[in-house]
Amino acid sequence: MNESFDYYVPVKLVFGAGRVKEIGTYAKPYGTKALVVTTGTLFEDNGYVKTVRDSLSQEGIPSEYYPDVTPNPLHTQIDTGAQIARKAKCDMVIGLGGGSAIDAAKGIAIVLGHNRPIWDFCAGGPAEITEKTYPIIAAATTAGTGSEGTQWSVITNPDTKEKPGIGNDHTFAKVAIVDPELMVSMPPDLTACTGFDVLAHAIEAYTSTISTPVTDLYCEKAIRLVGRYLRRAYRDGTDLEARTAIGYASTLSGFSIAVGVVTICHALGHAVGGVCNTTHGKTLAAITLPAMRFSMNSNPDKYQNIGMFLRGEYSNDGQDRLEDSVNEVQKLLRDLDLQVPLSKQGVSENDLEAIADGTLRYMDFNLSIDPAKAEKEDLLAILRDAF
């Protein structure tokens, strides 16, 4: 066990079905006017935006609404959102949605606090994120990203074809509302992709070289919950017990990657998304098996537990083999209809070189905390396997 470690996740977690209605009460200490950020107008149509804005109004907090964020939010969308917030004199930012909306809200809060474009803070840019960042509130509608519980914001630049993650102690949400009722609206494909992201976060934070005893507990629980409930949530989206379990797993995984961070699978996944604008969870699903095989011999004690956690077993009889863990993940992928190679996700063979270069260029920290040390040839081998 690592006997010397830091653990810092300063997020007020508000968890439970129906609790998004309380957002006004929880937001009140942090500002007088809110920008509500969503990806598109779906949540306007299904009433979630109205629920949030009504709750804010009841506490005397007016709000502005910014729906012009896409999945894999662009740096330009973040700068535009900040302009709108500044004009409307908003002093806090609420992300309502999955990772894209919450990450965009974090980005907008950074721009508002520092008055410079978001890309200045990304991929080795000249600016540093400070305490000037405006308050962020996250209301999660998917169970996967974990963004509500992390400092990370992932921002895409189509000009440079990069998709780095940024963040530090100043970019945690003040309040994270995780309301499983909001997750009932997710279609099966999105449930599978975001749910697999939960598992990827837990596996990577659990096996990273900066894992901690605290996050190990979270990761173990998250992996067990995914093994037990994700298939149920996928088959029947209205199963509130399964939605609640996966919502909880997502939150635990989020807190874990705030500290233990993510490793080689996400490092490659971000670079794939930067070059080819793919769906995050689906891309991870394609990469995860070869990535596990690459890393598992470098941390066998941890990797051999993963299959046992997924199966829901509680005692290690010493018979667990590393390949069993890979097989358990593979079975889950099959049951979630997530066995989609990169070649069927809009990635061409010619892109692999640029993806490997991008991984080394701006996801180097994540590579450095994987138990196995990857060179460019290793990255290309994993990508070819996933292709």
List residues near Fe ion by CB under 5 A: 197
What is the spatial distance between Cα 76 and Cα 5, in angstroms, rounded to a whole number? Answer: 37
Query: Smaller CB distance to Fe ion: residue 197 or 220?
Result: 197
Output the smallest distance, CB 262 to Fe ion, in A: 7
Contact (CB, 8 A) for 75 and 157: yes
Could you tell me how far CA 37 lies from the centroid of its own chain?
A: 17
Query: In the complex with Fe ion, which residue's Cβ is closer, 197 or 328?
Result: 197
134 contact partners, CB below 8 Å, separation of at least 6: 31, 91, 92, 93, 108, 109, 112, 113
CA angle in degrees (0–180, nearest 5) for 91-185-287: 90
Query: If you search the block for the tokens 């066998």, which residue do you land on?
Result: 300
Q: Which is nearer to Fe ion, 270 or 302 (CB)?
A: 270
Go through the chain and tell me how many residues it has. Answer: 387
How near is the Cβ of 335 to Fe ion at its closest, in Å? 20
Query: Closest separation between CB of residue 151 and Fe ion, Å?
Result: 14
Residue closest to Fe ion (Cβ)? 197
**Token pair listed for 341:** 């190679």
Q: Which of these, 219, 227, 169, 156, lies nearest to 195 by C-alpha position?
A: 227
Indicate the residue among 197 and 370 with the shorter CB distance to Fe ion. 197
Question: What is the smallest separation between the CB atom of 347 and Fe ion, expressed in angstroms?
Answer: 18
Say how far apart CA 200 and CA 303 lie, in whole Å.
13
**Least distance between Fe ion and beta carbon 288 (Å):** 11
